[in-house]
Amino acid sequence: MPDKLDWLNEHFVLMKHKTVQEAAVNSHYKIPFEQRELAQQNPLAEDYLKKLAESELYPQASEFLAFNIHQRALAWWAYCCVLSIEKELLEVPHKPRDISDIGVRKKPEIPDWAKMPEDKPVDYKSNPDYIKLQNDLSNIRMNTEKLIQQLPPGIWEKHLALRKQVYAEFKKIVGKDPDELMADALEQVDKIKALKEESEAKAPIYKMKKELEEKIEKIRLDTISKIKAAVPVKSPEETKEQTGIAMDAVYACITAPTDENAQACLNAGNACPETPEGLTSLIAFWCYGNLTPQMEQVVKTPPELAPNGMKGLLLKCALAPGGTRKFQERMQLYFDIGREVAFGKNNWSEFMKDRVPPHKKPGLEDFAGYLGKKAADMPTASVNPAAPGSEKPAPAAPIFERFKG
């Protein structure tokens, strides 16, 4: 649970509404069913938000803050969250999976200790045991020949003749001599092995299995082919170009909210709405307040459009594969970024001095959306003196002026 002292002398000076009910009426914030009692017990917006954060309900806290923060600050908050996930992916990139790999049966990964030893060719001639065995056999052969030579003349010849006669009689009865029977036995072993494999291949159950696997593979390949035809995949180069344009448009619209920059955000966001950068560009456009920039007639943006877009952006960033943080860690970080922005400590004024936007500095050591401990050294915008719990923000500095509408 966050230390409650973190909130000491800290006020959300960039909140639009003092109470939860005002946010519900004016910004169309829908109080979650599970938080209705909490909202009744803490009717002031600051108290309600603090209770959500102290309960580590960061998605709910971020959602309420999105509905109750000034529009321009909301766009900057979204921009900083994208910076954060981009830095994560720069450190630990995600390797996208080819759609063709979907459904492919993979062999289970067996640990090294459980694997069968590989049949490696052995160089017996260089093996000391083999050399010793060959020497022993040679010695036995030589000794046997010496013993045969020591036999009385004609004994060995009688032995060979007798053996030949026995083998001949054996063959008459059995059909083959012992040497031929041994050779046939070895040959029969090889035939039995081959017969087993052949019978398995011809068995109905194995045949059905093979046919089913072939049908499944055909369906898989057809499905992948249809998906690729129906959903064209952007190349990494095209995505990089579009997301870069989107971040340029967001930063330009935040620092200079004009009709031209708002229109650029709309165009850039529509080019890659599936990316965090593209969605941020659309959020910046919705924060502008006018759905028809560069036209005489002003169509006011519904108040819930940008906050709901922010809710989706936080979820998209938190679920992004790769990176160094888990889902809950990211949700807490994104809320902490929003808290800094709402306190008035995290804004774009510092980056306008050198005219280099943060997203143009991709190094890991550069600004990643969150000030953290540095925020303690940043001045907080002043608030009008009032009774505790009823602070109202003083007129904000020009950089925090709301967009049109």
Q: Are strands 383-384 and 392-393 parallel, antiparallel or unpaired?
A: antiparallel
3-state secondary structure of 395: coil
Determine the pLDDT at residue 402: 33
Predicted confidence band of residue 268 (pLDDT cuts 50, 70, 90): very high
The burial of 50, by beta-carbon neighbours within 10 Å (0-12 exposed, 13-18 middle, 19 or more buried), is given as: buried
Predicted confidence band of residue 8 (pLDDT cuts 50, 70, 90): low
CB 73 within 8 A of CB 339: no
Task: Measure the CA–CA gap between 188 and 182, rounded to whole angstroms.
Answer: 10
User: In this structure, what token pair is assigned to residue 325?
Assistant: 């943080």
Predicted confidence band of residue 62 (pLDDT cuts 50, 70, 90): very high
- pLDDT exceeds 60 at position 314: yes
Query: How far from 372 is each of 56, 293, 324, 325, 339, CA to CA, in Å?
Result: 18, 36, 17, 16, 11
Strand partners, 393: 383
Rounded to an integer, the average pLDDT of 85-97 is 87
pTM score over 0.75: no
- Give tens-digit pLDDT for 358-400: 888 876 677 888 988 776 666 554 433 333 333 333 333 333 3
Rounded to an integer, the average pLDDT of 117-138 is 78
